[in-house]
Amino acid sequence: MGGFCALSCSGSDIVMELSVTDLAVGRGGIPLLAGLSFGLARGRALVLRGPNGSGKTTLLRTVAGLQLPMAGRVEVGEDSVAYAAHADGLKAALSVAENLRFWAAVFGQSGIDAALRAFDLEPLAERRAGQLSAGQKRRLGLARLVVTGRPLWVLDEPTVSLDAASVAQFGAAVRAHLGHGGAALIATHIDLGLEADVLDVTPYRAAADAMAATDEAFL
Amino acid sequence: MRALFLRDLVLALRAGGGFGLGLAFFLIVVVLVPFSVGPSSELLGRIAPGVLWLGALLACLLSLDRLLAVDWEDGALDLLATSPLPLEGVIAVKAAAHWVTTGLPLVLAAPVLGVLLNLAPQGYGVLVLSLALGTPALSMIGAFGAALTVGIKRGGLLMSLLVLPLYVPTLIFGAEAARRAAEGQDPATPLLFLAGITAGVLACMPFAAGAVLRVNLR
């Protein structure tokens, strides 16, 4: 993960939550995106767009620190990222409230009521996560973001299997998060009703042989 | 960390197969031995320490392949990796929970199963002590194996192949201590070796496992 950058990164007086400089990312040693540079200020959201397989997920995993960049830098505050991917990390044998309480404890937070309310999960709080529908599970997965208390949400296709009302709920939750000085980096294909900047990653596609062979798999 | 430990215990209890499965496997292995080697009580008493140790080791191995695989499949491992918990700590805690749900019941059940194998009366105390000293190392080494094979489909068999050779020192000294005690000799030396191996494993393996897990998650 990059260096600490809670204050201004580029000399401007906007507080940057995330700053990416000349980043190249790849999956399994194959470069996918190259030459990416963008910043994300507090209170702002950035929506990533691009066709399937264009490297959005890889970019998000790199920003979250789950994999190393092939080149360039990701500067993000230490312990500031809350990552949500396709899988929600829910335990079927635990109830909705227990799942949330676990993640709250892991992130050193307490209180899950706000998260339950934000995603309308209160009636389901005592239900086992294994008995939820796909959309309800997704809402629980997104409610986890609220209990992490982290400023930068990195979301990979957050609206999969959500109905229209839940998408609106999710949009409201993201707006509330931005309103509290948070930031969000979201890969999605649908309109969330956010005032967000849009970054299309298609022009940054890396040529397959643009990079020298790496030994990333062995590091 | 405490939350993760408690969650793993609750999951083992609720999902079933946590406390019970390894124990039942241990019981069946031990019960099968007299069928395979014959009912001679003198022979059974002689092989009892080794059989009990081997049974405990295999029962421990049984539940290890799900230790990290479950969390990897439902995405929780990625989320834990981005959480404030260090991966080394995650592995150590999960190994500790595995020991409480698998190793500890084996330790407690071993004297009862010793009766089935006609274990000499003076051997029981040291058998329990040797298992109590040795099984934490089995869980921790197994967690390392699980970290190595996480993400591999059907990785359970590969994990067994990787982990079983690493179990050899623990098995040698553990079974030796129990055998010596059963024969009325002094078991102190193998017990000390066993404790040393366990201490070394507990000190080093979380870091090795954390490192390979980090590579595997990339």
- For residue B111, the model assigns a pLDDT of 92
φ, ψ dihedrals at B182, nearest 5°: -65, -30
- For residue A11, the model assigns a pLDDT of 42
Q: Name the closest residue on chain A to residue B72, using Cα atoms.
A: A89
Q: In chain A, which residues have their Cβ closer than 8 Å to the Cβ of B14?
A: 93-94
What value does the mean pLDDT take over residues A154-173? Answer: 88
Q: What is the DSSP string of B171-200?
A: HHHHHHHHHHHHTTS--HHHHHHHHHHHHH
Q: Could you give the 3-state DSSP secondary structure of residue A204?
A: helix
For each successive 10 residues of chain B (218 residues), what is the average pLDDT?
85 73 89 90 91 92 86 89 90 93 92 91 93 95 93 86 94 94 93 96 95 88
User: Distance from A216 to chain B by nearest Cα, in Å?
Assistant: 9
d(CA A152, CA B151): 27
d(CA A62, CA A71): 11
- For residue A16, the model assigns a pLDDT of 77
- Percent of residues, chain A, with pLDDT higher than 90: 7
Closest CA to B103 of B43, B70, B62: B62
Q: In chain B, which residues have their Cβ closer than 8 Å to the Cβ of A108?
A: 84
d(CA B110, CA A211): 58
User: Distance from A202 to chain B by nearest Cα, in Å?
Assistant: 23
Beta-carbon separation of B217 and A88 below 8 A: no
- For residue A209, the model assigns a pLDDT of 52
Compute the mean pLDDT over every residue in chain A, rounded to the nearest whole number. Answer: 83
Residue A137: which residues within 8 A CB-CB, separation 6 or more?
Answer: A88, A90, A129, A161
Q: Is the model's pLDDT at A12 over the cut of 90? A: no
Closest CA to A167 of A189, A199, A144, A200: A189
Q: Is the model's pLDDT at A8 over the cut of 80? A: no
d(CA B47, CA B34): 10
Q: Exposure string (b/e) for A72-83, b if CB count within 10 Å is 16 or more?
A: bebbbbebbbbb
Beta-carbon separation of A66 and B14 below 8 A: no
CA B9 to chain centre: 16
What value does the mean pLDDT take over residues A97-124? Answer: 88
- For residue B16, the model assigns a pLDDT of 62
Restricting to B residues 10-49, those with a Cβ less than 8 Å away from any Cβ of A are 10-11, 14-15
- For residue B132, the model assigns a pLDDT of 95
Query: Model confidence over A120-147: pLDDT tens digits?
Result: 888 988 999 889 888 889 999 999 988 9
Closest CA to A142 of A130, A131, A154: A154
Q: Is the model's pLDDT at A9 over the cut of 70? A: no
Side chain identity, residue B195: A
User: Which of A63, A66, A80, A95 would best serve as a mutation to test chain B binding (most B beta carbons within 10 A)?
Assistant: A66
CA distances from A162 to A156, A187, A196 (A): 14, 15, 20
Q: In chain B, which residues have their Cβ closer than 8 Å to the Cβ of A160?
A: none
User: Distance from B82 to chain A by nearest Cα, in Å?
Assistant: 7
d(CA B201, CA A124): 43
Q: Is the model's pLDDT at A218 over the cut of 70? A: no
- For residue B3, the model assigns a pLDDT of 86
φ, ψ dihedrals at A200, nearest 5°: -90, 120
- For residue A208, the model assigns a pLDDT of 59
Place of tokens 């959480």: B83
Using the Cα atoms of residue B34, residue B38, residue B41 and residue B46 in order, give the sign of their dihedral. Answer: negative
Q: Is the model's pLDDT at A219 over the cut of 70? A: no
